[in-house]
Amino acid sequence: MIVYEARKFAEEHHEGLTDIYGHPAISHIERVVERVLHAPHGVPLYLYLKHLRPQPRRWRTRETVAVAYLHDIVEDTSVTVDDVSSMFGELIGSAVAAITRCSETYADYIYRLKASPCPYKTPSSSSIAVTVKRADLLDHLEGPTPCPTSLVKRYEKALTALAEE
């Protein structure tokens, strides 16, 4: 039920939005969900071994899939973290808050996502956010649209940082 509601919510709020290539924004979100659901299937083996292996038990929880659907909603739409929390609960709201980049540098964002203590992060929401961010980064690197060369190193470095335990 929660996955269905998250999908519906994401589809409604991303309707009409496109990425920089003109593809529907929801397409990226659906690919991230697929990566969360089916990893390591569909993920190149070297990326799986290098970046995803430490957290296999966390890939398929309902909450993780819901967060995968909602991972871009605060950055891309008028929806707030409070909206997500009130609609989907504290755990999902905290994970969406953790995965949402604010005004910090990208390096600070990755550091915060991985390790920095925050009032809205719980151990569970943090691991969900990291799992979804890994899938998000993999989609940017290996998805159907080419990743701008200026971002490849940044995303690979972020994946490596998020894979360290």
Q: Which residue has the higher pLDDT, 54 or 105?
A: 105
Q: What is the pTM of this model?
A: 0.83
> Which pLDDT band holds residue 33 (cuts at 50, 70, 90)?
very high
> Is 3 buried (19+), middle (13-18) or exposed (0-12) by CB count in 10 A?
middle
Buried/exposed 30-48: b ≥16 CB within 10 Å, e otherwise: bbbbbbbbebeeebeeebb
List the domain boundaries for the chain.
2-163
Q: With contact defined as beta carbons under 8 Å apart, do 69 and 6 qualify?
A: yes
pLDDT at 4: 94
pLDDT at 54: 44
Q: With contact defined as beta carbons under 8 Å apart, do 64 and 128 qualify?
A: yes
pLDDT at 60: 55
H-type alpha helices, the chain: 2-14, 25-38, 45-47, 62-70, 73-76, 81-88, 90-99, 106-114, 123-142, 149-163
**CA 65, CA 161: separation in Å to the nearest integer?**
22
Of 133, 12, 38, nearest in space to 4 by CA: 12
Quick: pLDDT tens for 40-86.
544 444 454 455 444 444 445 889 999 999 999 999 999 999 999 99
Fold (topology level) of 2-163: Hypothetical protein af1432 (1.10.3210)
Average pLDDT over residues 103-130: 77
Q: Which of 8-17, 40-49, 108-117, 152-161 has the lowest mean pLDDT?
A: 40-49
Average pLDDT over residues 122-147: 85
Of 74, 132, 128, 129, nearest in space to 98 by CA: 129
